[in-house]
Amino acid sequence: MPQPTARRARRRSGGERVFSDDDGRLWSASFTREGTGAGAVVFACISDSRQPVRAIALEGAQPLTDATDDALRAWLRDAPRIGRLT
């Protein structure tokens, strides 16, 4: 019987960043793009797991390594929470 293998999602990334929000919580931001279309930045709170994951679509976004912390905070404020579809 074959052994299960862990699948790693390939992320065409502009990098991953850690930054603090306006309240001092630490967030991880990662940029994902499928094909040549628009990409999305996915935010996950590192310091408070009660915070929901958020995501925002960005057309022609710059790599996260080039984004300022202020830009990341603005995108986080605009990013809707990711929830279950019902």
CA 24 to chain centre: 18
What is the predicted pLDDT for the residue at 11? 45
What is the predicted pLDDT for the residue at 2? 55
Would you kindly state where each structural domain of the chain is located, as residue ranges? Answer: 16-78
Task: Report residue 32's pLDDT band, with 50, 70 and 90 as the boundaries.
Answer: confident
What is the predicted pLDDT for the residue at 69? 93
Instruction: Return the DSSP state at 72.
Output: H
